[in-house]
C-alpha cells in the first residue's frame, strides 16, 4: 500500500477511526490490516448477535402472551418499570408517526434490545414476572446460574458487544473477546440448543481470529 492510497482511505473513512488502530510510527499497511481484521471479526459476530437478540425478544414475548392471556400484553404496563413503560409508549408513537398499524408484532419488533434485557436487571429483583421468565425464557440454563444477577451480567456484556459492533467500533483490542464469543453462543444455548448449534455451524469467528493479520496484509498489496 503506497502512502497516497493509505492517506486517501484514511481521509475517506475518518482519520480518528483509522488512527485508533496504530500510531504514526506504524506501517500504514499494518494499521489498515488491523482495521480490516476488526471489521471481519465484527462481521463474524453479526449472525450470533442477531440470533441472540431475536430469540430473546420472541421468547419473552411468547411467555408474556401466555402470562397475560393476550398478545397485547404491553397494554398492561403496571407490572413493568417506568423506563420500560416509556419505551413501549415511544415504540407505539414511532409506529403511529410512520402511519404503521400498531400490532403486537410491530410493537415487539420496534422495542429496543435494552428493553428486553431490562427484564433481568436489578430493578426487576422483586418483580414476580421477571422471576418467572428466568426458567421459561432460559430452559437450558443450569440451575446454579438461574439468578437475575448472573443473567443480567451476561446480557449486559452481549448488549455492549452488539452496540459496539453495530456502531462500527473497535473490538480487536478486547482481551476477553474470545470469551465473549463463547459466552454469546452459550447464551443462545440457554434459549434454544438447536439455534446455538446453527450458530456454531455458521461461525467464522475462530478461523478469522486464528488467521490473524496476515490475510489482510496480503490483501493490501495494492
d(CA 176, CA 167): 19
Please give the C-alpha separations between residue 183 and each of 26, 69, 154, 190, in angstroms, as whole numbers: 33, 33, 8, 10
In a domain, 7, yes or no: no
- Round to whole Å and give the CA distance between 27 and 193: 44
Domain that holds residue 94: 46-204
The secondary structure of the chain in percent helix, strand, coil, rounded to multiples of 5, reads 75, 0, 25
pLDDT per position as a tens digit, 92-151: 999 999 999 999 999 999 999 999 999 998 888 777 888 889 999 999 999 998 999 999
**Do residues 154 and 188 touch, judged by C-beta distance below 8 A?**
no
Q: Within a 13 Å sphere around the CA of 77, how many CA atoms are in the beta-carbon half?
A: 11
Predicted local distance difference test score (pLDDT) of residue 66: 93
Length of the chain in residues, anyone?
A: 222
For residue 78, the model assigns a pLDDT of 78
Does 21 map to a domain? Answer: no
> Is residue 149 included in any domain, yes or no?
yes
Q: Is residue 218 part of a domain?
A: no
pLDDT at 222: 59
d(CA 131, CA 38) in angstroms, rounded, equals 38
All residue ranges of the chain with pLDDT < 70 are: 77, 222
Whether 21 contacts 172, CB under 8 Å: yes
Q: What is the per-residue pLDDT for 21? A: 93
Assess if residue 175 is contained within a domain: yes
Residue 15 within any structural domain of the chain: no
Q: What is the pTM of this model?
A: 0.92
Task: Please indicate, yes or no, if residue 220 is contained in any of the structural domains.
Answer: no
Overall number of domains in the chain: 1
Asked if the structure places residue 26 within a domain, the reply is no
Q: What is the pLDDT of residue 5?
A: 87
Amino acid at each position: 500500500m503506497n502512502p497516497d492510497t493509505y492517506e486517501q482511505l484514511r481521509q475517506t473513512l475518518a482519520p480518528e477511526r483509522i488512527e485508533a488502530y496504530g500510531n504514526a510510527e506504524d506501517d500504514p499497511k499494518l494499521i489498515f490490516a488491523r482495521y480490516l481484521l476488526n471489521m471481519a471479526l465484527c462481521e463474524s459476530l453479526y449472525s450470533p448477535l442477531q440470533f441472540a437478540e431475536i430469540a430473546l425478544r420472541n421468547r419473552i414475548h411468547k411467555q408474556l402472551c401466555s402470562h397475560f392471556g393476550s398478545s397485547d400484553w404491553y397494554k398492561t404496563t403496571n407490572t413493568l418499570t417506568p423506563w420500560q413503560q416509556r419505551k413501549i409508549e415511544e415504540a407505539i408513537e414511532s409506529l403511529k408517526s410512520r402511519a404503521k398499524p400498531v400490532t403486537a408484532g410491530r410493537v415487539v419488533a420496534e422495542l429496543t434490545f435494552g428493553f428486553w434485557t431490562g427484564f433481568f436487571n436489578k430493578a426487576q429483583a422483586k418483580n414476580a414476572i421477571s422471576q418467572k421468565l428466568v426458567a421459561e425464557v432460559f430452559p437450558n440454563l443450569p440451575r446454579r446460574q438461574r439468578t437475575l444477577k448472573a443473567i443480567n451480567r451476561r446480557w449486559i456484556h452481549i448488549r455492549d458487544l452488539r452496540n459496539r459492533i453495530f456502531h462500527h467500533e473497535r473490538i480487536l483490542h478486547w482481551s476477553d473477546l474470545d470469551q465473549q464469543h463463547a459466552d454469546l453462543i452459550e447464551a443462545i444455548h440457554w434459549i434454544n440448543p438447536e439455534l446455538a448449534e446453527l450458530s456454531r455451524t455458521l461461525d467464522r469467528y475462530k478461523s478469522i481470529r486464528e488467521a490473524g493479520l496476515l490475510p489482510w496484509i496480503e490483501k493490501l498489496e495494492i
